Amino acid sequence: MYSVDHVSIVTNNLEESIKFYNEVLGFEVVGTEETEDLIACYLKVEHLIIELMQGKNKVVDRPNAGVIDHLAFRIDNFDEEYERLTSLGVKMLYDIMLYDDKKFTFFSGPSGERIEISEK
């Protein structure tokens, strides 16, 4: 049986992405790693780790490799979190939608990754 270890996102602005995941979404920075070609930062919330990667020349040579459609987070209070995100200037990609009587919507992260929030 497999379990998720982490999700990796390629970014062209590592500092902006770290700030977004840390300050807007509440992820904690738990480590960094640097190789000859790239810099990575690891952020964690509960059991999920996101690895943000940026090439030292601002480009990571992985065009469209293993493209992830979106990250999805279940949240306790949808209306409160929606209001908080929009008050921080986060632009929602869609109006609030319903599935099984639960609200959800999508917004973009700083590198264009789609992020979904939905009611628990």
Where residue 106 falls among pLDDT bands split at 50, 70, 90?
very high
Q: What is the mean pLDDT of residues 24-31?
A: 96
- Measured CA to CA, the distance from residue 72 to residue 23 in angstroms comes to 18
pLDDT of residue 63: 55
The model's pLDDT over 72-102, given as tens digits with 9 standing for 90+, comes to 898 999 999 999 999 999 999 999 999 889 9
Q: Are 50 and 27 in contact (CB under 8 A)?
A: yes
pLDDT score of 67 more than 80: no
pLDDT score of 61 more than 70: no
pLDDT of residue 62: 58
pLDDT of residue 11: 86
CATH architecture of 1-58: Roll (3.10)
Q: Which one has a higher pLDDT value, 1 or 116?
A: 116
Q: Which one has a higher pLDDT value, 70 or 32?
A: 32
Please tell me the pTM assigned to this model. 0.79
CATH architecture of 68-120: Roll (3.10)
Delimit the CATH 3.10.180.10 region(s) of the chain. 1-58, 68-120
